[in-house]
Amino acid sequence: MAILVAVDPRTNPAKATIKKALRVDFDIKAPEDLAGPISQTFFLWLNSLFLTGYKRAFTTTDLGMISSPLYAKSILAKFSNIANGHIASSGNGFALQTFTSLGFYALAPVIPRLAVTGFTFSQSFLVTALLKYLEHGEQRPASHGYGLLGACAFVYIGIAVSNSWYWRHMYKSVSIIRGGLVVSIFEKVLRLPEDGGTEAKATTLMISDVQRIVSGLAFIHEVWAGILETALATYLLQRIMGVSSMAMLGLALACGAISSFVASKISVQQRNWLKAMEQRIDATKRLLDSLKAVKMRGAEDRVGQVVNELRRLEIQAARLFRALITVSVFLSYSTVTLSPLLVFAAYIGVNGADSDLDSATMFSSLVLIALLGSPLIHLFQAMPALGSAQGCFGRIHAFLETPEMFQNASVDLQRTRMHRGDTRLSSNPSGSYQPAISIRNASLGWSSDETVLENINLEVARGSFVALVGKTGSGKSLLLKSALGEVKHVSGSIELPLDKVSYCSQTPWLENMSAEQTWTQYGGGDPKSLAEVLEACFLDDLISLPDYRTGRVGSGGVRLSGGQRQRLALARAIALRKEIVLLDDVFSALDRATRQQISTRLLGPEGLLRRLGTTVLFTTHDSSIAMLADQVYEITVDRSLAPLSLQKPANGDAIENRIAQGETTEKGFDEKDTTASDQAINATVQKVKDDQNEKDTKVSDRQVYLRYVHAMGFKNAGIFLFLVIAFAICLKLPDLWVQWWSTALQQGDTRGNNYWIGMFALLEVLPLLVLCLCIFHLMFFIVPTSASTLHASLLRTVLLAPFAFISRVDTGSLMNRFNQDLMFVDAFLPLDLFNTCAELFTSTFQLILVAIVSKQALAILPALFAVLYFIQRVYLRSSKQLRLLDLSWKADLHTKFGETVSGLSVIRANGWLNPMREKFLEKLDRSQEPFYLLYMVQRWLQLVLNLVVAGLAITIAGVAIGMRDKVAVGAVGVAFLNTTTLGETLTNFIISWTSLETSLGAIARVSMFEQDTPREREEQSNVDVPDDWPKPGQVTFENVWATYDDKDGGSSWRLSGVTLTVKPGERVAVCGRTGSGKSTLLLALLGMLHMPVGSVRVDGIDISALQMTILRRRFKVVSQDSFFEPTSTFRQDLDPSGKISDDDVREILGECRVWEIVAASGGLDSKRSDAKLSAGEAQLLSIARLLLQNPTESGNIILLDEATSSLDRETEQYIERVMSARLQNATVIAVMHRLEAVSTYDKVAVLDKGVLVDFGDVGDVKARCELFK
């Protein structure tokens, strides 16, 4: 009954999760859709969100629904052509296709943007009319002044309202584009061949490129608006200043031409930068996937140096990109600073030095120039952003044009077809005998120019079992993947009904969910059938785990042992109940007892697959398992397929072990092994969540800013702050000079216009000089320093974290810190920081100028500051949470994407494309909510500040009109000039600050991760460790109790009271069933576990007194998971020191039977990552590296963790003899599950449930221990 309850689909949460995907109920309207025009205009529909955020932290249900067009269902309808591969022929055409896919939403911002232009330039007429009214106030009726006051309110409130509508539509558009591009990249990946480089490339496109496109397209309407406003401003200025207004137009055209040139070059430099970024991302992913192997080898420092060097090269690759950005910023401010100078100089030049410049003329001109300045700043900064977006569109377009597995056919269609030859697809013929699987005259290779298997002919009858055997690297996996259509075969035909196939790969692919969900979510709804699979695959030990239903197996199943991962993947494939099952060496990771039980229960005469009449094609190294098949075929040395007699196992070996005949439990080894794996972590004890963002740790804004200042360096921060303040002051000094100039002219100053224009020229050029210094310092000192420092700190945090802790963190979550978070720091934070600081100090000095020239305005400043303080308190409490949710839920989306990419062959073979698509789109829907809402609360803040500016303008106008006889017209002109531009300045400040907030949110995530992550011991006690330690090489375990979690209170011991001594030079084999604690013993010796009781001593030195990285470097380790440094050649991988001659390297490689493989890949100087090695060949290469790095002398301790698990029997026996001869004087501790291999060792240790149940000479232990019988 307990088993039935455990697998009852009604209690399976995975079923409910899948059904929820893409089922947004559009009958339920979002608050925004229900809101009326006034509520939408003033964002009143956000009030409940602000109230919740002000009171408490957001939960996952607080955000609520957003507008229905932003969800995946609507987005897929709009982007169906792109998602299905029907794309334009060029990158620019693809960009246009993407934009037009928006439909109505592409043009929705146009009318509001025209309204923004209209209201903005109305300020010029308003200022002119107000100043003329003040100059001749005694001749005008009071009602005229009241009319001007009403016009002032209309204009400034109109600016606020039109901006509200414009930016709301604009960010709705870019949110839809973001979703459409993400979906299109995901759908493309589903159609691509499985390739190790696909994940890094596609992930970079989804994170970096899509974000750059979103940032660039947010200003796409500023291009035509900027051109329109330039023409309009020139026309209006011409009415005031005459032909001299052409000076401003000439300057704008010149800057525009240069900016266009910069934009055309920026996409090329960005491409180089992103290529370097992809290389770092790929290296980081490889590191995180093999973190256990890295830590076991003590290679943290060396691998960290490699990745940091890639980061340095990435930063170096971005230098020209940053130089172009510097030029762009200079051009964007050139127009606003130089235009007044050129216009006034041209006016004086045309009309003479004694020409009359009255206050109304000067300030009306300045208002027009200032009004034009902000759009031009947007335009010239948008053009490089759009150029960057164009380059990103080109990169995504190139990716979407990558040749697919099934060109010209949808992925899902292939599930109902047979595949034949290279391209032809055919349906099953009817009316004649048809084998379940048919391969005829096939020559197969991993690529079209490489043939591994030749003239393969195989027919598998329905309901029969066929085994494939062969040496390591002979091509067994290639044949299975070719049958599935995952590999491009060269010639011949393969027929297989793909919709009737289930597949289990040699390397288990698991989703990060509970163990129960992992194997039951796709297995149908029959409890009885699931119970049969549970029994056949021997999952009893997993069911007994306390977190079987509620915990997670970790990224790739990292919390489980290799055997447990393999059994879950096998159960998942069997539970599908398909007619044909393909198994790729699925028993290699299991101990002998478990292997014989599962193979008998599945493949034996009364096995489950026999009873179901299933057709089975499987590969194996185990001759006893091969004998369970009806037919056995061997891949021979001439790369062909030859049948073998069932009475003659492959390679003539003796049967490796007895087949279990009904015996399900061996004495001393209870099959209900509750011990977690050698990597398992009891998630229910500490309840530590995978995503560190969900922790209780909080980082204040002050800490975040200090963290960034610390990363850039206090000296750099001080210089930057000084320069940006100087720039803001220099930018506003000309306004004061114009006031003094106009006042002097009114008072009959005799110095003439030449004097004033000369000083004015100096004051206008000065801010540009300061700007150049500021941007250069930012781009070439602050950015490289902070980027390098933050990356190095993040990488060091990961590498120095205890393995038990870091394995709890989802790999996708870690990758997002190295990808998404650092992308914000590199690409967006620098300019956001400059623009925010520049606009902040500029607006501050504008308020000061208003107060200086209009003393009456001082009275409202306290009220103004009180309002601003209240606004920021309400805003920050919600926006801070939203920006963290945005980054966090993007991380979830990218994690699911990476998880899908890593298992493409398994997903396609088992027909899980639709379920995986639904899960991904559910993550996309979830990530769209904070993404869009964050933009909306930022626009709310912009609206409120625009209304504050409107209030300030109305107040100044009211005071001036009411006291027209007592105010100076020039002072009012300066006040209105700064009030007019204050609205634009505050708008720019809000846009920059809100973008800065998002970038700083990335730093906050990094800071929280650094604070939450403990570190391994970095100090070394006062212990004298000889340089040649460990020598002679004695290892002693004294009553060791070990656990992965130092806070579990002893509720989940992985080792319990282990005591044993390994003498110098002894070779000890460690055996036991899956999850018995074999690898855990090695981890304890390497200091990777918490040991509150007992001690481990090596040559008398307690390892707890040593620095962990130094401890591990003194051992020679071959781990179960092979790892190589991402950028290394074969030579660098095998001999990092570079001290071994080529002849010696070739000798060892030849002795390990891998030299021919290395030579075929290009020799010792070829890239290790370019070689297509099988799991067994990778293990042979790791053993070769061990033999090269270990001289034949005493004092070396060798640790082997399942070092030969993927080798065939004959190769394993051979390589064991090689190691025995080469490592004669070394102390060797080897974990293994092939019991016959222990005969070459001196002693054997047997573990069960973390307890040492036997230890002694091999012959004695084999004679008395049930494990060997």
Condensed to tens digits (0 to 9), the pLDDT of residues 934-982 reads 999 989 988 998 898 888 888 878 877 877 766 666 666 666 766 766 7
More confident residue, 782 or 375: 782
Contacts of 1014 (CB under 8 A, 6+ apart): 801, 802, 805
Q: Let me know if the fold of 29-64+67-405+694-1012 is the same as that of 411-511+513-647.
A: no
DSSP bridge partners of 1095:
1038
Among the ranges 609-623, 863-877, 965-979, which has the highest mean pLDDT value? Answer: 609-623
Q: Are the C-beta atoms of 1161 and 1130 separated by less than 8 Å?
A: yes
- pLDDT tops 60 at residue 1234: yes
Among the ranges 349-363, 675-689, 910-924, which has the highest mean pLDDT value? Answer: 910-924
Is the peptide bond preceding residue 546 cis, with omega within 30 degrees of 0?
no
Count Cβ atoms below 10 Å from residue 1221 Cβ, excluding itself.
11
Give the pLDDT confidence score for residue 173 in this predicted structure.
Answer: 96
Local structure of residue 318 (DSSP, 8 states): T
Largest CA distance in the chain: 121
Give the pLDDT confidence score for residue 685 in this predicted structure.
Answer: 31
Label residue 524 by pLDDT band (50, 70, 90).
low
Q: Are the C-beta atoms of 415 and 499 separated by less than 8 Å?
A: yes
Give the pLDDT confidence score for residue 413 in this predicted structure.
Answer: 34
Local structure of residue 659 (DSSP, 8 states): P
| Mean pLDDT of the region 67-79 | 92
Give the pLDDT confidence score for residue 468 in this predicted structure.
Answer: 92
Give the least confident one: 197-206, 386-395, 656-665: 656-665
- DSSP string for 413-479: HHTTSEEETTTEEEPPP-SS---SEEEEEEEE-SBTTB-SEEEEEEEE-TT-EEEEEESTTSSHHHH
Residue from 636, 650, 623 nearest 452 by CA: 636
Label residue 737 by pLDDT band (50, 70, 90).
confident
Fold of 1035-1268: Rossmann fold (3.40.50)
**Domain 29-64+67-405+694-1012: assigned CATH number:** 1.20.1560.10
Percent of the chain's residues with pLDDT above 70:
84
- pLDDT tops 90 at residue 474: no
Map residue 158 onto helix, strand or coil: helix
Give the pLDDT confidence score for residue 1 in this predicted structure.
Answer: 30
Label residue 348 by pLDDT band (50, 70, 90).
confident
Label residue 448 by pLDDT band (50, 70, 90).
low
Give the least confident one: 629-638, 767-776, 851-860: 851-860
Q: What's the pTM value of the predicted model, to 2 decimals?
A: 0.76
Residue from 1029, 1038, 1041, 1056 nearest 1097 by CA: 1038
- pLDDT tops 70 at residue 680: no
CA distances from 143 to 139, 693, 976, 1038 (A): 12, 60, 21, 99
More confident residue, 42 or 701: 42
Among the ranges 373-377, 640-644, 1032-1036, which has the highest mean pLDDT value? Answer: 1032-1036
Q: Are the C-beta atoms of 364 and 131 separated by less than 8 Å?
A: yes
Tokens coding 284: 């980081």
Label residue 137 by pLDDT band (50, 70, 90).
low
- pLDDT tops 70 at residue 253: yes
Label residue 1195 by pLDDT band (50, 70, 90).
low
- pLDDT tops 80 at residue 14: no
Residues 416 and 427: their CA atoms lie apart, in Å, by 8
Give the pLDDT confidence score for residue 427 in this predicted structure.
Answer: 39
Reported as half-sphere exposure (CB side, CA atoms, 13 A), residue 259 has a value of 26
Q: Are the C-beta atoms of 1005 and 163 separated by less than 8 Å?
A: no
Local structure of residue 226 (DSSP, 8 states): H
Residues in the chain: 1269
Give the pLDDT confidence score for residue 308 in this predicted structure.
Answer: 93
| Mean pLDDT of the region 713-731 | 94
Give the least confident one: 183-192, 395-404, 1106-1115: 1106-1115
Residues 139 and 142: their CA atoms lie apart, in Å, by 10
End-to-end Cα distance, the chain? 33
- pLDDT tops 50 at residue 672: no
Is the peptide bond preceding residue 862 cis, with omega within 30 degrees of 0?
no
378-429 confidence digits (pLDDT tens): 777 778 888 889 889 999 999 999 988 754 333 333 333 344 344 333 334 4
DSSP bridge partners of 458:
439
Q: Yes or no: is domain 411-511+513-647 CATH 3.30.70.2080? A: no
Label residue 1025 by pLDDT band (50, 70, 90).
confident
Query: In the block, which residue shows the tokens 């964002």?
Result: 43
Strand segments (E) across 600-728: 615-619, 631-635, 641-644
Give the least confident one: 33-47, 795-809, 846-860, 1113-1127: 846-860
Tokens coding 880: 């801070």
| Mean pLDDT of the region 1030-1040 | 88
Among the ranges 94-108, 493-507, 838-852, 1234-1248, which has the highest mean pLDDT value? Answer: 94-108
Q: Taking the mean position of all CA atoms in its chain, how far away is CA 557?
A: 19
Residue from 862, 837, 874 nearest 952 by CA: 862
Q: Give the ranges where 509-561 is alpha helix by DSSP (H).
A: 515-520, 527-536, 540-543
Residue from 51, 49, 72, 74 nearest 62 by CA: 49
Query: In the block, which residue shows the tokens 């400034």?
Result: 156
More confident residue, 546 or 249: 249
Give the pLDDT confidence score for residue 670 in this predicted structure.
Answer: 36
Give the pLDDT confidence score for residue 424 in this predicted structure.
Answer: 36
Q: Are the C-beta atoms of 744 and 756 separated by less than 8 Å?
A: yes
Label residue 1190 by pLDDT band (50, 70, 90).
low
899-912 confidence digits (pLDDT tens): 898 889 899 999 89
Q: Are the C-beta atoms of 891 and 816 separated by less than 8 Å?
A: yes
If phi over 0 gives left and psi between -120 and 50 gives alpha, with beta otherwise, what is residue 463? left
- pLDDT tops 80 at residue 179: yes
If phi over 0 gives left and psi between -120 and 50 gives alpha, with beta otherwise, what is residue 1067? beta
Among the ranges 289-298, 426-435, 806-815, 1126-1135, which has the highest mean pLDDT value? Answer: 289-298
| Mean pLDDT of the region 86-114 | 93
Tokens coding 367: 């208002």
Residue 1178 CB-density burial (10 A; 0-12 exposed, 13-18 middle, 19+ buried): buried
- DSSP string for 1013-1062: ------S--S----TT-S-S--EEEEEEEEES-TTSTTSS-SEEEEEEEE
More confident residue, 1047 or 996: 996
Tokens coding 11: 């209690």
Where are the domains positioned within the chain?
Answer: 29-64+67-405+694-1012, 411-511+513-647, 1035-1268
